[in-house]
Structure 1
Amino acid sequence: MKADGAAMQRRVLTFMQAAPLAAILIVFLLLPMCVIVVVSFFDYNSVQIIPAFEFTNYTDALASSVTWETYLNTLRYTLIVWAVTTVLGFIVAYVLAFEIRSRTAQLVLFLVCTVPFLTSNIIRMISWIPFLGREGLLNSTLIKLGLIHQPLEFLLFSDFAVVLAYTHLYTLFMVTPIFNTMMRIDRRLLEAAIDGGAGWGRTLTTVIIPLSKSGIAIGSIFVVTMVMGDFITVRLMSGGQRSSVGLMISNQISSLQYPAACANAVVLLSVVLIMIAAILRIVDIRKEL
């Protein structure tokens, strides 16, 4: 009887510990998602939303070539930004974890990487405009040096500007988990690899990268989800000349087309979940958590 009572107390204590977080997730995550799913089946016109159960919003979205082009463009941005941030994040994390010996110096340099996050995303994006503009600092400098004779048009309001802004905004989300993973690597493994005759390149590919996969996976999830759902970066840095799924949903909300926006949000969520599931199938991150 005492054992049963102790087991019951542990279950109650566990429930009480999990209940606050579960309640927050239900109220602020699960319920809003359920509302979005329900509204996605509603009908609407120019003045009202009509409760119904029909698949018009989904058929209109999935049958439209514009929607497919928008999703492909968003996926293109996501893959490019993921590749760039992975390379940059890995390099920065490697330098911090293995080249900087002092823990104090590691902490200071890591905090330096976080300084840009003390300002808003919009301010950081806008700061690129006077630098990349037709008569901006970069073009002016290149012309004065005689390296170019005409301003480079592709620097601003282009795909290049969008990818650059994304990279600026989200690289730290790749640096942090990779750095955390690298700091957990037993340095004796590196010494053993070197003693076994492995050079720097072989040690990197056979020891460091495999042991950093969980950090890369976590960073990939961060970057993929944020780029797929972003809309303000594409709007500002492309000058309204490019599109993304997030921007399309934002425009539908601005036009009071809430059911259509909800349908696209459900489709976008499904695509993102599939991408995350693919990442989790490739890399087991449970040991990192």
Structure 2
Amino acid sequence: MMRAIQDFFSRTLAYWQAAPMALVFGFFFLLPLAATAMVSFWEYTEYSIEPAFVLTNYSDAFDGCISSLPDLCTTFRTYLSTLFFCGGTWLLTLIIGFTVAWFLAFHVRTMTMQIVLFTLCTIPFWTSNVIRMISWIPLLGRNGLMNQLLLSLGIVSQPQEWLLYSDFSVLLAFVHLYTFFMVVPIFNSMMRIDRALIEAAYDAGASGWQTLWNVVVPLTKPGITIGSIFVITIVMGDFVTIGIMGGQQIASVGKVIQTEISFLQFPAAAANAVILLISVLLIIVGLTRLVDIRKEL
């Protein structure tokens, strides 16, 4: 009997070890997610919220999308705006993050210096995102340092309004805030590359660009995918950055949800949150189909 019990626990030891984390994951993630999905089917009026099972909140989210064709409805335009910021931020953070990771991994020789440079990269995270965004306003504003510099150099004849409260300022803030989320996984992948492979590529006559494209990039794909997932998931749901740097004038899915919550329209906000979650999951599934990120984990 005791032998059987010992065999049982030995076979299920991994499950027992994973149980505490599974409980935390279920309580703090799966349970709130299930509650959000449930509330998305409830009815609501200006004065009340009633438990029910209706599809009104989802149909209202796409109200007029068919009748307005070939023009895009408000929901599709909002998602296109969000995808524009998501795609632009992803591309810029990928270029900058890959360059920084390449420098740290292949041009910084000592571990001590790598740690020092990584610490310098984390210094901006010692302050809140809001403070880091607000710091751009005196730089990019109508009477800010950038406009004063352009005017003094004679490059422009009047202050440039597009520097602040525009798509440019929103993209700039996103890149400033989230590039480091791309640097870390890419750097981790690059550090796992066997340096003998790079030396072999050079010995075979490959140029620097050929080595980069045919050796480094393929072996760095898991890190690129993980960094892309980090950046895309954060940007898709962000509303604070777009609100501050866009001057409350630029639409995004996150801002729509935040506005509905502020007006106590919780079922509508929950429905939009579920739609946003499905959209993000589809993007993540597409990325994971391209690269097996399990090699990185």
**TM-score if structure 2 supplies the norm length?**
0.95
Tell me, in whole angstroms, the C-alpha distance in 1 between the residues paired with 2:140 and 2:226.
32
Deviation at 1:7, TM superposition (A): 3.2
Deviation at 1:47, TM superposition (A): 1.2
CA distance 1:2–1:51, shift in 2 (3 Å) = closer
Tell me which residue corresponds to 2:89.
81
Deviation at 1:8, TM superposition (A): 1.1
Specify the code of the residue in structure 1 equivalent to 2:199: E
Query: Cα deviation per residue 1:191-217 (whole Å; 9 max; x = unaligned)?
Result: 000000001010000000000000000
Q: CA RMSD in A?
A: 1.3
- State which drifts further: 95-104 or 156-165: 95-104
Tell me which residue corresponds to 2:67.
none
Matching of residue 130 in structure 1 with residue 103 in structure 2: no
Deviation at 1:137, TM superposition (A): 0.7
Tell me which residue corresponds to 1:157.
165
Within 5 A, what are the aligned runs for 1:184-263? 184-263=192-271
Tell me, in whole angstroms, the C-alpha distance in 1 between the residues paired with 2:63 and 2:284.
25
Within 5 A, what are the aligned runs for 1:110-149? 110-149=118-157
Query: Cα deviation per residue 1:28-75 (whole Å; 9 max; x = unaligned)?
Result: 111111110111000101111011111000001022421111111101
Tell me which residue corresponds to 1:36.
36
Tell me, in whole angstroms, the C-alpha distance in 2 between the residues paired with 1:5 and 1:251.
56
Specify the code of the residue in structure 1 equivalent to 2:202: I
- State which drifts further: 156-165 or 61-70: 61-70
Within 5 A, what are the aligned runs for 1:28-67? 28-64=28-64, 65-67=73-75
Query: Cα deviation per residue 1:116-167 (whole Å; 9 max; x = unaligned)?
Result: 0011000000000000001101111121122222111110000000000000
Tell me, in whole angstroms, the C-alpha distance in 2 between the residues paired with 1:15 and 1:105.
41
Tell me which residue corresponds to 1:265.
273
Q: Which runs of 5+ in 1 are unaligned?
A: none
Tell me which residue corresponds to 1:108.
116
Tell me which residue corresponds to 1:11.
11
Tell me, in whole angstroms, the C-alpha distance in 1 between the residues paired with 2:168 and 2:3.
65
What is the percent sequence identity of the aligned residues?
A: 54
- State which drifts further: 194-203 or 65-74: 65-74
Tell me, in whole angstroms, the C-alpha distance in 2 between the residues paired with 1:72 and 1:60.
18
Secondary structure, counterpart of 1:157 in structure 2: coil
